[in-house]
């Protein structure tokens, strides 16, 4: 478990002061609706895959233990 200081979408903080688990073997993002909805609203549907190469979508930044 890690300290998830904040999640930013397009530079705007959408969640902060969370605990998280990192599984680098998957691209799935899971969490409660209040945390995940601002992210899916910005990048697209929670059920439609979004490719990393789609530069029309905003950056998602996770700050863990003070590091982006």
Report pTM: 0.81
Q: Structural domain boundaries of the chain?
A: 2-64
Residues 6+ apart with CB under 8 A from 27: none
* Sheet (strand 60-64) strand order: 12-20, 2-9, 60-64
The answer to whether the CB of 57 falls within 8 A of the CB of 42 is: yes
Q: Are 38 and 10 in contact (CB under 8 A)?
A: no
Q: Is the pLDDT of residue 52 over 80?
A: no
Say yes or no to pLDDT of 44 above 90.
no
How far is Cα 63 from Cα 66, in angstroms, rounded to an integer?
6
Q: What is the pLDDT of residues 55-64, one digit of tens each?
A: 888 889 999 9
Residue 67: the pLDDT is 95
Dihedral pair phi/psi, residue 42, rounded to 5° = -80, -35
Q: What is the CATH number of domain 2-64?
A: 2.40.70.10
* Residue range 13-36, pLDDT digits in tens: 999 999 989 888 887 788 888 888
Of the two residues 36 and 47, the one the predictor is more confident about is 36
């Amino acid at each position: 478990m890690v300290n998830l200081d904040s999640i930013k979408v397009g530079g705007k903080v959408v969640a902060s002061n969370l605990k998280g688990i990192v599984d680098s073997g998957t691209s799935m993002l899971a969490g409660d609706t209040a945390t995940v909805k601002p992210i899916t609203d910005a990048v697209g549907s929670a059920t439609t895959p979004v490719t990393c190469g789609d530069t029309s979508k905003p950056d998602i930044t996770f700050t863990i233990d003070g590091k982006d």
